[in-house]
Amino acid sequence: MRRWGRGRRSACPPVRARANLAGTGFPDTAVWAYDGRIPGPELRFRQGDTARIAFANGLPEATTIHWHGLRVPNAMDGVPGPSQPPVPAGGRFDYEFPLKDAGTFWYHPHVNSGVQVAHGLTGAFIVEEREPIRVDRDLLWLLGDWRLTREAELAGGFGHPMDATHAGRIGNTVTINGAVRDRVPVRAGERVRLRLINAANARVFALDFQGHAPRVIALDGQPVTPHAPADGKVVLGPGQRADLVIDMAGRPGEGFDVVDGFYPRMAYRLTRLTYSAEAPLRDSPLDAPIALAANPLPEPDLAGAVRQDVVLDGGMHGAMPKNAGPRGPFWALNGVAAMNHQSMGHHLDPLITVKRGQTQVTAFVNETGWWHPMHLHGFPFRVLSRNGRPAEHREWRDTVLLGPRETAEIAFVAEEAGDWMLHCHVLEHQETGMMAVLRVT
């Protein structure tokens, strides 16, 4: 990775590599990696900078990079077809875009995503605020989920209908920044900003920070009124992020588990916060504000909005699309099943067309028995309501997680022309029908 000058420049060729994911005693796993690292390099910029990323493809197949959650010009969005041709093996592409928003974002391929993301092609993209809040440490946990064999090799069977018609490719090994971590050292009294990124293909997390009272300060990179997570659990669907402030309230020498209990009867310890023997950094929690300044997002004009809803259908025990074959499609949006193994958008007719500058209100209506994190490229949206009730925080998001039979109503301003992807971020759902194009003219 190289950087120079203002508007620093980075190169991140993806290459075949090996990494020790599963921990001591396990062999390394053959992976695909940006700059040979799992996860890829943490790209860090300042709000107002221009990001320049010189990209060279060292993989055996075509790829692109999508900058998840960042408001970038359509041509820099990394969707093969609408934005750019796929970068062939051995090819190059220069990404360049201004950074309008501060926050926690991430990057991943948008070609053959189910396979490429599962091989490790993910990385954090952090844009620092002009006026950051005061914390003692800024920590990042990029959460990965791997399906490994006993020999710690990646299990095959990508795109298997058993995964695609159910909850997606859920793995058996969860990593924090590319490794199973039994413990994370902390110091009593310190205030940590913890940036969480769910970079898994399909796994949903519900994190319980036992013995601690985290406060959520941003969701999907966008500031939110600081609040305690509902039921004390931080829920993250694939693609989603949360920024937390945690005052490390234990005593020197103590330890506390962080438990993921999303799937009933399958709760496990993600890691353990272990307090060093050092004297506490301070006796009472730091007395400093934790609210972040809002990003300059265009506020939806609800009075002048057009309404276009999106019904999610299909999946096991659901209404399978009429054109379903043995390999799909298994899912549909408004009855349209876009079959596509490449996560591409070029042959898709728009499902929704909207005029530039228009505010759109969309209800996602999940008529399936499965969870779906619905992601819209280009335009962060406000969550207006859930299941008919006004949303408590009216938070900005780029991915909204819907439980079985749930509804979520969102609003956004279609501020940039172009074809923008709208899809489920369970990558096996995306690639078997749960994907569409929103056209802004």
Nearer to ligand C2O, 143 or 258 (CB): 143
Buried b or exposed e, range 407-428, using 16+ CB within 10 angstroms = bbbbbbbbebebbbbbbbbbbb
CB of 194 to Cu ion, least distance (A): 27
Which H/E stretch holds residue 433?
strand 432-433
Query: Which span (65-73, 78-86, 365-373, 403-411) binds Cu ion, by CB under 5 A?
Result: 365-373
Choose among Cu ion, ligand C2O, none what residue 426 binds, the Cβ cut-off being 5 to 8 Å by kind.
Cu ion
- The residue within the footprint of Cu ion, chosen from 79, 158, 429, 436 (CB under 5 A), is 429
- The residue within the footprint of ligand C2O, chosen from 423, 428, 436, 438 (CB under 6 A), is 423
Nearer to ligand C2O, 188 or 351 (CB): 351
How far is 415 from 266, CA to CA, in rounded Å? 42
**Residues that contact ligand C2O, how many (by CB under 6 A):** 10
**DSSP assignment letter at 114:** H
When asked if residue 375 is in the footprint of Cu ion (CB under 5 A), the reply is no
Is 72:398 a contact under the CB 8 Å cutoff?
no
In this structure, is the dihedral angle defined by the CA atoms of residues 86, 91, 96 and 99, taken in order, positive or negative? positive
When asked if residue 397 is in the footprint of ligand C2O (CB under 6 A), the reply is no
Q: Tokens for 369, please give them.
A: 């028995």
Nearer to ligand C2O, 200 or 320 (CB): 200
Nearer to ligand C2O, 191 or 375 (CB): 375
Single-letter amino acid, residue 135: V
Which H/E stretch holds residue 390?
strand 389-390
Nearer to ligand C2O, 107 or 275 (CB): 107
C-alpha to C-alpha distances, 194 to 56, 98, 225, 290, nearest whole angstrom: 31, 25, 16, 12
When asked if residue 375 is in the footprint of ligand C2O (CB under 6 A), the reply is yes
How far is 372 from 429, CA to CA, in rounded Å? 8
Nearer to Cu ion, 315 or 380 (CB): 315
When asked if residue 372 is in the footprint of ligand C2O (CB under 6 A), the reply is no
Nearer to Cu ion, 199 or 248 (CB): 199
CB of 5 to ligand C2O, least distance (A): 29
Query: Which span (219-227, 266-274, 356-364, 421-429) binds ligand C2O, by CB under 6 A?
Result: 421-429
When asked if residue 429 is in the footprint of ligand C2O (CB under 6 A), the reply is no
Nearer to ligand C2O, 186 or 344 (CB): 344
Residue keyed to tokens 């293909």: 201
Instruction: List the alpha helices (DSSP H) in 290-359.
Output: none
Q: What are phi and psi of 264, to 5 degrees?
A: -55, 140
Choose among ligand C2O, Cu ion, none what residue 212 binds, the Cβ cut-off being 5 to 8 Å by kind.
none
Query: Which span (5-13, 17-25, 273-281, 419-427) binds ligand C2O, by CB under 6 A?
Result: 419-427
Nearer to ligand C2O, 110 or 193 (CB): 110
CB of 423 to ligand C2O, least distance (A): 6
Query: Which span (50-58, 243-251, 266-274, 417-425) binds ligand C2O, by CB under 6 A?
Result: 417-425
When asked if residue 166 is in the footprint of ligand C2O (CB under 6 A), the reply is no
Contacting ligand C2O within 203-262 (CB under 6 A): 239
Name residues whose C-beta falls within 8 Å of residue 4's C-beta, 6 or more positions apart in sequence.
none
When asked if residue 374 is in the footprint of ligand C2O (CB under 6 A), the reply is no
How far is 121 from 143, CA to CA, in rounded Å? 12
The separation between the first and the last C-alpha atoms of the chain, rounded to the nearest angstrom, is 37
How far is 79 from 182, CA to CA, in rounded Å? 37
**Helix, coil or strand: residue 113:** helix
Nearer to ligand C2O, 8 or 429 (CB): 429
Choose among ligand C2O, Cu ion, none what residue 166 binds, the Cβ cut-off being 5 to 8 Å by kind.
none
Query: Which span (116-124, 169-177, 356-364, 422-430) binds Cu ion, by CB under 5 A?
Result: 422-430
When asked if residue 68 is in the footprint of ligand C2O (CB under 6 A), the reply is yes
Q: What are phi and psi of 78, to 5 degrees?
A: 80, 15
How far is 77 from 183, CA to CA, in rounded Å? 36
Q: Tokens for 351, please give them.
A: 């499902």
When asked if residue 86 is in the footprint of ligand C2O (CB under 6 A), the reply is no
Closest to 148 in 3D by CA, of 26, 277, 250: 26
When asked if residue 421 is in the footprint of ligand C2O (CB under 6 A), the reply is yes
**Helix, coil or strand: residue 163:** helix
Q: Which residues bind Cu ion (CB under 5 A)?
A: 372, 424, 426, 429
Positions touching ligand C2O (CB under 6 A) are: 66, 68, 108, 110, 239, 375, 377, 421, 423, 425
